[in-house]
Chains A and B, each alone.
Chain A
Amino acid sequence: MADLKTKDRMKIKRTEMPLRDPEVRKHDFDEVPVGFTMEEAVLEASRCIDCGKPHCVEGCPVNINIPGFLKALEKGDMQSSINILMNTNQLPSICGRVCPQDQQCELVCIVGKKNKPVSIGNLERFVADYAMEHNLIPDFTPTEAMEVDQKIAIAGSGPAGLTVAAELRKLGYKVKIFEALHKPGGVLFYGIPRFRLPAQVIDNEINNLKKMGVEVELNALIGRTYTVDALFEEGYDAVMIGTGAGLPKMLGLPGENLKGVFAANEFLTRVNLMRADKFPEYITPVIVGKDVVIIGAGNTAMDAARTAMRFEPNSVTIVYRRSRDEAPARTEELLHAEQEGVKFLFLNNPVELIGDEEYNLKEMKVIKMELGEPDEGGRRRPIAIKGSEYNIKCDMMVSALGFGVNPLITSTTKGIDVNSWGAIVVDENGMTTKEGVFAAGDIITGGSTVIMAMGQAKTAAKGIDRYLKAKREVK
């Protein structure tokens, strides 16, 4: 296809990702998108016109050489394709699946001006999966000559921690990740459901890191099991905090502690991490109601809604105080949720949770909303319509309203400054106000995306390298 004219490339229809039948998939936890075949992938890659000034690269928070990997794919040079991807992105099989492409690289793709944009995310996923299956993953293990006698401790094994680990190990540093939970991966594992991100994909990425020589210690809560200062005393030369924004926000409404009221993290953790979907083989239980209501319309809300759907309740309803246009979830997640039968109550907001005498949630009082003037962020502000309250049936409610920052490390370590909402403050090198301590990911933003966390992690990795190099020279 290399001799195709730009004009003709622009006309090729976008190959949509084949999906499993909603009526089948909503009963299991297998992955929803089926994946491209080689033919489909090559055809889709050929839609990229290899722009001289590729906007897509600007749109990607880590600036992947997108036309580069697409053109290699089109030529069938899979080794070059994966090499180009992994040059900038250590976790392409994950980003290809969960990035909000529609708000990033694909949003600004030139082809999208006249036609639909190139399916960059799906192709990223294709190349990464292909490379894994065919043993094409480039080996970044440092050679013996490259080994550096300095150690870095990383708190947290989410995308931020994994990225810093990869980047620094590549340079020859000794790297150890400390993870509080009994499984690595952070939100990738305990938050994002398996039908969106199969366990095998995460395991593969973590195994790649281990092969490079990255050590992982599970069940280690930094700030408690080991304090940051203790890590320095033990001989670590730098500490990187990638502990995420795991603190769930509750609604603050009457009745929020009724049985049947969950924070999204609890519900998703019970299922994703503890495998309550396989109860009683796995012995952690979860009780999914008959009429499930999810509050919020971000990715977390969609994940909670679709997970609840898989327990076969009567109804799953998303209640969101703004309209569909403002819903922050990836377009694809909204669509998949709709396909699976999730109902949406836009412009509604909960005001009270009502229980029975046994303290079980039974009903939710909601109020209708309308959109007023735009706020500072440019989104129209939702305003409650007086007197419009009514009750809906609801025996399970999941709050998916975003997260606060876990204060554990900053409260047990002196000298790490946080901002007004508790997020760790870092400089342009990713260093916190405590020397030798760096931070990246949701812990510095209070909750964002996988790829943003990875971008910040790369900054921190560069900062750590610079810092440790300077330390070596002093010696």
Chain B
Amino acid sequence: MYKILKRKVIAAKTVMLHVEAPAVAKSIQQGQFIMLKLNEYGERIPISISGWNREEGWLRIVIMGAGRTSNEILLMQEGDEFESLVGPLGTPSHVGKFDGTCVLLGGGYGAGAIIPVAQKLKELGNRVIGVVGARNKDLLVMHNELKEEVDALYITTNDGSEGIKGFVTNALSSIMEKENVAWVMGVGPVPMMKAIADMTRADKIPTYASLNAIMVDGTGMCGACRVTVGGETKFACIHGPDFNAHETNFEELMLRQGAYKEPEAIANEKFKDFDFSKI
């Protein structure tokens, strides 16, 4: 069993957890993820890692309520346990020492997921800029934690309640004007990652996206997580989750993400009228 050691509500319908998993904490690297399962009846869901402590043996994760399983996790408390947690899964992010600035952009839980990547890029001697976006200031998460790891942090909100008004791409374009950008990575909703890819394509800046395909096992056994990159079918859970964003078929990813809309709504019946403001 994998125990929740620490829990903090960090925004509406968003929690940050420290989960006990010594073996995974020991070996995990930037960009890798885990699969979580709550209990006997639970679904296996992929979750990114926003930090870890190898000595104390825990992982830091950020969960945003999206449907049944993530909503259930929002209600879990310190001391509660997950039935299953497996990892580290996926190929680590393709980092290196680059000839110019690295820009990491995160939306939603992605703001947490880019933190280990930022740390690694810094370790390798890069100049790293972070960008975190949200609809409004109350929905911003993990920006304070990310700030510690980067040379500069930009915040964007759609309504302008904090930072730059607009999308993360607004920040990206102004960074591209000011600096020699050599490497870009985006983690967040598909439209965001697609917009980033479109912005860096003309200048051929190496750009990665962490593809959040629907997964079942997460170990390469089932093929549920198929994505098309460079015209080829790849498995997001083993070949990814990070892929060349310029070659990714984002439209297909988005369509495939919607494959289970109806049963997802049925599974989430329980939380239809649930008041999450008091969690």
Contacts and interface: CB of A to CB of B under 8 A. Distances in A.
For B23, B85, B266, the residue with the greatest tally of chain A CB atoms inside 10 Å of its CB is B23
Contacts of A274: 43-44, 216
Nearest to B227: A257
Nearest to B259: A259
B37 A182 contact: yes
B222 A263 contact: yes
Contact of A248 (B44, B84, B221): B221
A276 to B, nearest CB: 9
B27 A358 contact: no
Contacts of A224: 27, 87-89
A257 B256 CA distance: 8
A219 interface: yes
Interface in B210-228: 216-217, 219-224, 226-228
A408 B83 CA distance: 24
B68 interface: yes
Contacts of A259: 255-256, 258-259
A406 interface: yes
Interface in A209-234: 218-221, 224-227, 230
A225 B219 CA distance: 12
Given A224-B27, A225-B27, A283-B68, A181 B217 contact: yes
Given A219-B85, A358-B255, A266 B266 contact: no
B173 interface: no
B255 A359 contact: yes
A282 B43 CA distance: 8
Given A359-B252, A359-B255, A408-B238, A265 B85 contact: no
A230 B22 CA distance: 14
A262 interface: yes
Given A250-B233, A281-B41, A225 B24 contact: yes
Interface size class of chain B, counting residues whose CB lies under 8 Å from the partner chain: 35 or more
Contacts of A180: 86, 217, 219
Given A224-B89, A408-B238, A359 B27 contact: no
B260 interface: yes
B264 A285 contact: yes
A406 B220 contact: yes
Contacts of B267: 279-280, 283, 285
Contacts of B23: 220, 225-226
Contact of B266 (A227, A263, A280): A280
Interface string A261-274: 01101100110001
Nearest to A266: B222
Nearest to A263: B223
B86 A359 contact: no
B225 to A, nearest CB: 9
Given A219-B84, A219-B86, A274-B216, A282 B41 contact: yes
A395 interface: no
Contact of B86 (A225, A248, A265): A225
B69 interface: yes
B259 to A, nearest CB: 4
Contacts of A280: 263, 266-267, 269
A257 B14 CA distance: 32
For B27, B88, B219, B266, the residue with the greatest tally of chain A CB atoms inside 10 Å of its CB is B219
A247 interface: yes
A339 interface: no
A287 B260 contact: yes
A226 B220 CA distance: 17
A175 to B, nearest CB: 19
Interface string B67-79: 0110000000000
B5 to A, nearest CB: 18
Given A225-B24, A257-B256, A265 B223 contact: yes
- 7 closest residue pairs by CB, A with B: A285-B263, A263-B223, A246-B221, A266-B222, A182-B84, A359-B255, A219-B86
Given A182-B86, A257-B256, A269-B216, 6 more contacts: A180-B86, A230-B27, A259-B256, A259-B258, A266-B222, A285-B263
Interface of B: 23-24, 27, 37, 41-44, 68-69, 83-89, 216-217, 219-224, 226-228, 233, 238, 252, 255-256, 258-260, 262-264, 266-267, 269
